[in-house]
Amino acid sequence: MIDFNFENSNKPASGSVLISEPFIEDRYFTRSVVFLCDHSSDGSFGFVLNNYIETGLKDMIADFPDIDVRVSLGGPVDTSNLFFIHTLPDLIPESQEITNGICIGGKFTDVIKLLETNPEKVEHFRFFVGYSGWDSNQLENELNEKSWIVLSKISNKHILDSHNDDLWKDLMDRLGGKFKVMSTFPKDPSHN
């Protein structure tokens, strides 16, 4: 018999990852992976890494360089704004490090200028429309309800890869045991 308890002992922190339990039914969080940018007693925020929109940045921002960039739907909060993370703090001033060389923010005009002259640097960026946010104690309550599995850390490559459509499954496999078994369950068990 499979143990459906998705509790783990890892605690959320800036730079950790939340993996949704397999049966959450939510437009933003079904089988999602959320990179936490900040977690404190005041609340938490981060970006869904594996939920994408069909519109490219060139279609959204007229002066954005004509390069292939996949944009993620970062969450349900502030979906009229564009956010980005990157690993180039020396080239994007005013950015702030989240963890392990992953930074947030800076001037978007600097991003555009950099990518106009060095389009290959796009692999150092992730772009998001909206973000995921939790008020004080809200995330802890969801963790107590076992809605999320906390993974202390994943590689920067996983965080910046906007082409891995199997990230949720890959991370569940990595956790092994019952998590690996659950990674193969269909979203709708009636389709089994």
Indicate the average pLDDT of the chain: 90
Confidence (pLDDT) at 3? 58
Give 115-174 pLDDT, tens digit per residue.
999 999 999 999 999 999 999 999 999 999 989 999 998 999 999 999 999 999 999 999
pTM summary value: 0.92
Nearest CA to 160 among 56, 31, 90, 72? 72
Tell me how far apart the alpha carbons of residues 138 and 142 are, in angstroms, rounded to a whole number.
6
Contacts of 73 (CB under 8 A, 6+ apart): 28, 48, 51, 52, 53, 79, 128, 129, 130
- What would the pLDDT profile of 67-96 be if each residue is shown by its tens digit? 989 999 999 999 999 999 999 999 999 999
pLDDT band at 2 (very low <50, low <70, confident <90, very high): low
CA distance 180 to 52: 24
* CA-closest candidate to residue 21, choices 145, 189, 165: 145
pLDDT bracket for residue 189 (50, 70, 90): low
User: Residue 7 pLDDT more than 90?
Assistant: no
Residue percentage of the chain with pLDDT more than 70:
92
Domains of the chain by start residue, with CATH:
17-167 (3.40.1740.10)
